[in-house]
Structures are given as C-alpha cells and as structure tokens.
C-alpha cells in the first residue's frame, strides 16, 4: 500500500536546507501541505533570513505542491504558536510535526563554555519542547498526530567534542518516551530519528567518499514512514546511506541484595551478572523498573524465609 499524505498538513522545522529540506520536499511530493520553517541562520545559530525557507517553498510550488514559508526561531514560544495558527488558518489542521531545527557549537569539554552549552540545548531540546507544545493540544483535539524528534548517534552513544549536542540529542529521546505515553490515547504517535547524513552540519566531519553515500534523501525515506498513518510509536530509528536500524533503551535483569548484604563489595562480586546482556528487556515506562526492583527484592526475601 503506497504511503501518501493527501489532506495532511506538516510542519518541518529547520527545513531551509539539509535534512529538513529533503523532509519537506519528500512530504510534499506525496501530497502533504507543508509549513517550511527555518530561521535562516548559520550552523552556529547566528543570523537569520526567511530566504532559505522561501526557496524550499518555491521548489514545492514549482512541482505543484502547497507550502508556506516561516522564518521564526523554535526558541520563541509566541512565534511557534503564530506559525501553527497560520497553518490552521490556511489548511484547518496540523497533522505532522518534524522537529529538525538544530545548530552546532562543537568544542572539547575543556574548551566548551556555558554559552556554547546553553545555545545548543536551547535550540535542540528546548526548541523541540516549544514547537511540540504549540501543536500538542490541537493534535489531541483532532485525535491525530505524528511527531518526530531528531536525535543523533552523538546523543545515543557519545561523540568527542559534542557534550552539548549529545546531551540535547539524548534529552529529546527522553521527551519522546513520555510524549508517547501521554499521546497514545489520542492517536498521537511520537518517534525519534537518529540520522547520519551529509549536510552542512557534518561537512568536514565525514570522509568525502562516505559523505557522498550519506544522502539526506535516504534519511527522509525513513522519516516518511515515521509520520505515516501506519507509523509506529516510541521508536528510535537510525537512518543513513539507505540503511536503517532500531536503537533501544534497555535494561539487564539484574539482581537483588538482602538488607544485611548491602555493600559495594557485594555489588562488585556480582558485577559480571549485572553487566551480562543476557535477558535484556525494554521497559515500557519508568515505573516498570521500580516494579521490577520491588518484585526482585520481595522474591529474594521470600527465598530466605
């Protein structure tokens, strides 16, 4: 069954270039009406112009699609609310939000300033919250929504010189997990995309031959599935060079100690058991870990009675 977006309305932030542009073009190609949002600044977040967003809108319209340009910053709550209102005024609804806007302030941790950290957190994490907040109640009212947050291998696994970026990119995964739980009864499905793509944000960081393989278009292929009617929810999808994989936040079975056994030495003795990946599981919510720990502790005490 072909995936189409006829009668759907999407907002893509940071869509004036790179991944955001290909996301917007791919959605429009399959019938979606798209708000192309982009501050129009450089990779560090400096400057601003609606020009890049308008250029993508021109591409969409030249191909017979419908789009609106928006030059607001995702860090501005009033501007994000106005952007959503503009989409609703023209098309009556917002079905899809792709949180893609981002900046880089790469430095080793020793050289990173608080301003470097705050700027990246502000756009990636706080900006994702603000843009999502602007569409959330609307999606609840219409009982339909598809939201994607953009994570990164830097957040999931770490990357030298990106303490700020990595912290933000894992932060949006935590946001995604909770939004999935709160949105599921309204058919709001929330997922995370962890892309590997050759864009101006990764230029110079990736070898030239690999850069050529990592087309933004290949990542957008996975994005389209994440925002489709049949989308999953609470998925972390890695995508790059036409390859796709799932990342999970999982937990080992672990063990329980009795009150009179509690000591760091007792944990150390059983470290191999603790670190073994055998029996790995993926909790559905935070309380499940608490329940597991209490159950294990109760069972252990019962064995000793």
My answer on whether 164 and 56 are in the same domain is yes
pLDDT tens for residues 134-179?
999 999 999 999 999 999 999 999 999 999 999 999 999 999 999 9
The position carrying tokens 């009556």 is 92
Q: Is the pLDDT of residue 46 over 70?
A: no
List of residues 6+ apart from 186 with CB closer than 8 A: 139, 140, 143, 144, 145
Q: Is residue 89 part of a domain?
A: yes
Judge whether 253 and 279 are in contact, CB under 8 Å. Answer: yes
My answer on whether 212 and 96 are in the same domain is yes
- Confidence bin at 38 (pLDDT 50/70/90): very high
Q: Is residue 4 part of a domain?
A: no
Q: Is the pLDDT of residue 16 over 70?
A: yes
By percentage, how much of the chain surpasses pLDDT 90?
84
Tell me the CATH number at 215. 3.40.50.720
Catalytic residue IDs: 165
pLDDT tens for residues 227-270?
999 999 999 999 999 999 999 999 999 999 999 999 999 999 99
- How does the average pLDDT of the chain come out, rounded? 93
Handedness of CA 280, 283, 286, 291 (dihedral sign): negative
- What's the confidence (pLDDT) of residue 234? 98
- Confidence bin at 304 (pLDDT 50/70/90): low
Question: What global pTM score does this model have?
Answer: 0.93
- Confidence bin at 214 (pLDDT 50/70/90): confident
Cα–Cα distance between 224 and 1 in angstroms, integer? 14
Q: Is the pLDDT of residue 300 over 90?
A: no
Distance from the first to the final alpha carbon of the chain? 59
Q: Is the pLDDT of residue 305 over 60?
A: no
Q: Is residue 254 part of a domain?
A: no
- What's the confidence (pLDDT) of residue 207? 65
Q: Is residue 1 part of a domain?
A: no
Judge whether 36 and 70 are in contact, CB under 8 Å. Answer: yes
Split into its structural domains, the chain has a count of 2
Q: Is residue 3 part of a domain?
A: no
Q: Is residue 253 part of a domain?
A: no
Q: What residues make up the domain containing 263? A: 259-304
């Amino acid at each position: 069954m072909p995936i189409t977006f006829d009668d759907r309305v999407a907002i893509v932030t940071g869509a004036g270039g790179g991944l955001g542009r290909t996301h917007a073009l791919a959605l429009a190609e399959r019938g979606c009406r798209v708000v192309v949002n982009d501050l129009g600044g450089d990779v560090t977040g400096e400057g601003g112009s609606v020009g890049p967003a308008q250029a993508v809108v021109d591409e969409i319209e030249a191909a017979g699609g419908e789009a609106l340009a928006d030059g607001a910053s995702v860090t501005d709550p009033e501007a994000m609310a106005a952007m959503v209102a503009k989409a609703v005024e023209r098309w009556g609804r917002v079905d899809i939000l792709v949180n893609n806007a981002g900046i880089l302030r790469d430095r080793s941790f020793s050289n990173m300033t608080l301003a470097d950290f705050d700027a990246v957190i502000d756009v990636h994490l706080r900006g994702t919250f603000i843009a999502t907040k602007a569409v959330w109640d609307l999606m609840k009212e219409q009982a339909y929504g598809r939201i994607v947050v953009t994570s990164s291998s830097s957040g999931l696994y770490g990357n030298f010189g990106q303490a700020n970026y990595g912290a933000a990119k894992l932060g949006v995964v935590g946001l995604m997990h909770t939004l999935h739980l709160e949105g599921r009864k309204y058919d709001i499905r929330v997922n995370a995309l962890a892309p590997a793509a050759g864009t101006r944000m990764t230029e110079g960081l990736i070898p030239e031959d690999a850069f050529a393989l990592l087309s933004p278009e290949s990542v957008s292929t996975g994005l389209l599935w994440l925002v489709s009617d049949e989308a999953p929810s609470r998925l972390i999808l890695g995508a790059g060079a036409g390859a796709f994989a799932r990342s999970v936040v999982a937990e080992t079975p672990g063990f329980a100690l009795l009150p009179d056994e509690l000591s760091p030495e007792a944990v150390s003795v059983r470290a191999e058991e603790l670190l073994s990946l055998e029996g790995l599981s993926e909790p559905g919510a935070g309380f499940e870990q608490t329940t597991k720990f209490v159950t294990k502790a109760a069972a252990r005490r019962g064995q000793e009675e």
